[in-house]
Structures are given as C-alpha cells and as structure tokens.
Structure 1
Amino acid sequence: MNTMLSWDHLVVVRGSFAKKLIDLLKGALKADRVIPYLGPGLLQLNAPESPVPCTPEDVAAALNKRAPAPSRIRTNMWSVAQFIEQRRHRRTLQAWMAEIFAAPAEPTVLHAWLATLQLSVIIDSWYDGAMRAALAEAGQTDVVEIQGTTRATGIGNIWTRTYDLSGTELDAEQVARTVLYAPHGSVRPAANFLVADSDYVEVLTEIDIQTPIPDVVKQRRVNRGFFFVGCRFNDQMLRTYARQMMKRSTGPHFAVIDSATLTRNERRFLAEGAITVIDMPIRNAAARLVGVDASQD
C-alpha cells in the first residue's frame, strides 16, 4: 500500500509514492521553495553511535551523570536542566551542556548537500552545530546564523544572537542570502542553550504572537512549506516550536518519520498541521535526496 489516510486524517505515504515525493522535494529544495527543518535524528546517519546526544532523553541521561535528578523527572531533559540550574547555578548548567556537545558532530551527507544549495532559510533544531560546519566546509560566505539565547543571564530584551560562520557576533539586523536559524541555541560559537524549563517560560508566553522568531525567518517562510528531517514531536515543547515555525507559512509540509513508531500525540500534531508523513527510513530518504546509493532504498 502506497498511501494511507488514517482515522485522524493523517496522510502517510509509502512505497513508490514516497520515492516520488522525495524526488519532488529534492526539486523543491533546489528551487528554494521549501525550508528544511533538521532534527537530531540526522546525526545517526554517520554512525549508530553519535559523538553527541541524539535525543532529549540522551541529554537528560548525560546531565544525570553529573547531577542525579529525582526519578520522576530523570528522563525529561528540560526538567533535569532546570533541577541543575536551581541546585548548581546557570553557569554550571551551561558548562555541562558545552561539555556534552563538545565533540565535533561531523556533517552528514544530507547536511553537506543542503550546504551546496541556495537556500533562504535552514532551521536546525538541535545543539550540535553540524549544519553550521557543513556550510563552512562548503565555502559558503553569504550566511548568518541566528541562535535562540536564554534570558536567564539577564541580557535584557534579547531573544536571539546573530553570528557569521567564523563565530563573529553580528548586529541583529544583519541579513544574508542564507539564514541558519537555531531556535534552541547551539554549542558553537558561544554555547547558547535554551534547555531548562525556565529558559522557555518567557519564550512560550510570547511565541504565540511570534515575538521570539526573527523577522527575517517570518518573512521568508511566507511562500514556503517545511520539510522535517530527523525530527520527532513526542514532547509538547517540540510540537509547540514546530507549530509556531509553520505559522503563517503557505505549506505544504512534509516529515520523514517511521509511522509505526508515532505516538498518539505525534499523530494528532501531524494531522492538525497537515504534515504529510513520508514513511521511509531516514537513511534511504537522505540517500535519495543527495543521489548517493539511492538504488538501495
């Protein structure tokens, strides 16, 4: 069966239809008609064991090794980070997050391929910095990276910080052909992390009216859809951010996900967002996009 319309109106595409849709998305990416929204699942393309955590649960486990949290919150990254911030201070949390993500995450073939395109916006929803590294390795220069930043350090009415690929901080109004937007921050160049519950209190209060999202991202998403790769939506925080990123964009939207593993909340979110699920292993989807060993999918 190639396509399935489930009871909750979730569209799932499989088989030959999935392959054709990936081919269409390849053309849309080349034409800059769709915005790639990258998640931590991409890191497992290079090797089964990534040098940095690939899920929020992995981050929670790494933080627990440094400061064991109560059992009721032990698997929740945001709550464990909040526990550490309250007990050990924000500087300790930031230092430990920098340690956890210190190992360079080698860009995958998909990162490298995306870096060769003339994309207006790339959204990187994890802390590893692999997409930034891929853009630098590709010799791209007309790029700015906008990172979400915590307000816990008392930096004032600032939601983001802007950098070039060398790590130099730029004026917030600086624009470029390609905007790499890391809404949760990134380990490089300045170890900006939105990770504790407290980091998101004001963000989630304001995000419904879009204040924390950079104007350039809001402008450039209008005539584009989103393509989610390596993302899961099994936490309210992740769903909220993705929903607000898609807000006021014309679509259509797509996500490469194993449909058999979807939670009830994920299914509801994907259906409500009119996000078509491409039920294909991420490795095969990436190979088809970049044209490497695509015959094996």
Structure 2
Amino acid sequence: MNAPFPHIDIVKQADAEALLKDVVAKLRNSQVVPYLGPAVSEPSGTAVPMSPEALAAFFGTKVALPRRAKGNAWASAQHIESTRHRSSVTALMAEAFAVPVAPTPLQQHLASLPLPMIVDSWYDGAMRTALSQRSDWGEVQGITRAHIGEDRWYRFYDAAGAEASRDGAQGWTTLLYKPHGGIVPAKNFLITDADYVEVLTDIDIQTPIPDTVKDRRTDRSFLFIGCRFNDQLLRTYGRQVIKRSGTEHYVLVEPDSLSKNELKFFIAERLTPIAIPLARATEIIIGG
C-alpha cells in the first residue's frame, strides 16, 4: 500500500499575496534572506542549463553516460571524472556556463537593496553581475576539496573578483553565498558525487558553512525563490544553510508539481509554502 501523501497547508490566492507582501517588508528590513534557485534566471531566456536535469542532459550530449547516471547531474559528473579526469569535468562545466546570463529584474532589484546576505544555489554568474554596480559586497563560494590538497571548504572573493580573506568579508554590506560554487570569478564547482561526499561528511556539524554565513543568518528567516527540493542533495543543503537561523521560513511553490519528499521537507523544516507563480511573485517583491 502506498504511503499517504503528506499534508501541509499551502497558502493560496489572496492570502498568498498578502503573506508575501508581509515577507517582502521583512526582506527590506534585513529580517529575511533570499535563497535563490536556478529558476530565478530562467526569464532571461538563456541557453545555459538552468536545472540539475538540464545540466545532466548537457553532460549526456558530450559523453556517453551509463543508465544509472542519466538524468542525474552529480552522478553524470562523477562518471566523467572517474572515466576521464577532474579537468574534464571542470572544462565541461565551464562550457555549459560559458555564456553570461543576464540578471533578471528580480536579481537587479535584490542587488539594489543593502541585504546582509543573498544565497544563490546555481552556478551561473547573473547575481554577481547584478551586484557589480556596487563595491560594498563580496562573495563566498563552496569549493571542491577532492584532489586539490587544500584543507578548506570555501573561498572568498571581493566585488572585483579578486580572492579575499575571511576577515575582510566581515566588513561587506552584502554577502553573496554560492554554496555549490560558480562559473565566475574562478570556476569553482561542487558537482561530482565525490565532491559532495567530502562536504556531507561534515555538514551536520556545519564545518563547510562559512562563519560569516552563520553570523548573517542568525535570527533571520529565509525566502526560497525558484528552488526545487526534489533531490536529497538539494534538501540537505537547504536544511543546513538555514540551520540555527530564525524560526519562520517561506518557499514559493507551484502546488501541482510538488513531490511527496518536498512536502515532507517543508513540514520538517517549518517552511510555509506560498502558491504564487514566479512572475507574479517578482512583481510583488519589486513593488514592495
């Protein structure tokens, strides 16, 4: 017998817009951290892969993949690394994200606000480009520790793209946190199964999470925008990034597409699902 579909109240229609407007007011007051998924950049019309499934499909056009790896970006990248070399994975990731992604109006708006932190969970550089009109910000990216001989989990970069120190990051008005790495400024990619084995070994004790991220999330809520949690890895990262933060979090959803595991995740992590299409949500966030 199939397990019952988990139940969670999803805020819809007028109530959803009213709730989102309240969340936006808190966002403007630095009480809410935006957590961006790849769907945020989709309105730009880019040909760059904007989901793990699309990235896996890209790998499949370049390399013959075994059945177990097809459709799974992390397993596809691991197969390429295992049968070729890490440099092949990096080269293919650089090719996949070579075309710059233009910032969307939502990203440009978020960049105009003195937010303490923006989490960007995809590999493109659109959010960095949106922030480039300012100089009072910087970025921290997750990095692979496999094969690089370094005893660290992340690197810091200033607004110009130069590597920076963790001490310097304390003075940035806005921190852009890219937990999976990114194409710019230095082609850091967490992408293979081996990369994530390294991180997931210690992520429960929060070692791979930068201290400045821990500081900036304290007592704050998160608003997940353009994110899916239909993969265990994505749920794990979402859970660990919001750990020890505020007690109320929100996620924009399309109810008909949600999986049972996503609903369970929302319940476990106390995320309030708000059913508003991304285009309309963007209007509300920008309009305030």
Percent identical: 45
Which residue is 2:143 aligned to? 149
Distance 2:277 2:60 in 1: 31
In structure 2, the partner of 1:223 is: 219
Counterpart in the other structure of 2:282: 286
Which runs of 5 or more structure 2 residues have no equivalent in the other structure? Answer: none
TM-score by length of 2: 0.95
TM-score, normalised by the number of residues in structure 1: 0.92
Distance 1:213 1:201 in 2: 15
Q: Match of 1:213? A: 209
Q: For 1:7 and 1:19, locate their aligned partners in 2 and report how far apart those are by CA, in whole Å.
A: 26
Separation in 2, partners of 1:108, 1:251? 29
1:245-281 per-residue CA deviation (whole Å, 9 max, x = no partner) reads 1111123100111011100100100111110111111
Distance 2:19 2:149 in 1: 44
Work out whether residues 5 and 260 of structure 2, in 8 Å CA contact, stay in contact via their aligned partners in 1.
Answer: no
Shift of 1:9: 4.9
> Residues 28-54 of structure 1: CA distance to partner in whole angstroms, max 9, x if unpaired?
11101000000001112233xx22111
State the alpha-carbon separation in 2 of the partners of residues 129 and 29 from structure 1. Answer: 22
- For 1:258 and 1:61, locate their aligned partners in 2 and report how far apart those are by CA, in whole Å: 23
Alignment match of 1:113 (pick from 109, 115, 120)? 109
Aligned with residue 81 of structure 2, among 80, 85, 88: 85
- 1:16 maps to 14
Distance of 2:93 and 2:176 partners within structure 1: 21
CA RMSD of the aligned region, Å? 1.4
Residues 1:170 and 2:168 are matched in the alignment: no
Distance in 2 (CA, whole Å) between partners of 1:250 and 1:172 is 24
Q: Which amino acid aligns with 2:20?
A: I
**For residues 1-297 of structure 1, what are the structure 2 equivalents within 5 Å?**
8-47=6-45, 50-136=46-132, 139-175=133-169, 176-291=172-287
Deviation per residue, 1:89-128 (Å, 9 max, x gap): 0011001101100111110111000001111111000000
Runs of 5+ unmatched residues, structure 1: 1-5
Q: Which amino acid in 2 is paired with 1:29?
A: L
* Counterpart-to-counterpart distance in 2, 1:87 and 1:114: 41
Q: How far apart in 2 are the matches of 1:190 and 1:46?
A: 23
Q: Per the alignment, in what secondary structure is the counterpart of residue 63 of structure 1?
A: helix
The amino acid across from 2:280 in the alignment is: N
Q: How far apart, CA to CA, are the structure 2 residues paired with 1:247 and 1:8?
A: 23
Separation (CA, whole Å) in 2 of partners of 1:263 and 1:59: 20
Deviation at 1:7, TM superposition (A): 7.3
**How big is each residue's C-alpha offset from its partner over 1:71-106, in whole Å with a ceiling of 9 and x where there is no partner?**
222100000000000111001100110110011111
> How many pairs are equivalent?
283
Instruction: Return the offset for 1:174.
Output: 2.0
- Note if contact 2:7-2:263 (Cα within 8 Å) is conserved in structure 1: no
Q: Distance in 2 between matches of 1:11 and 1:118?
A: 32
Displaced runs of 4+ in structure 1, greater than 3 A? 6-9
Distance 2:215 2:263 in 1: 28
What secondary structure, in the 3-state scheme, does the structure 1 residue paired with 2:166 have?
Answer: coil
- Matched with 1:3 is none
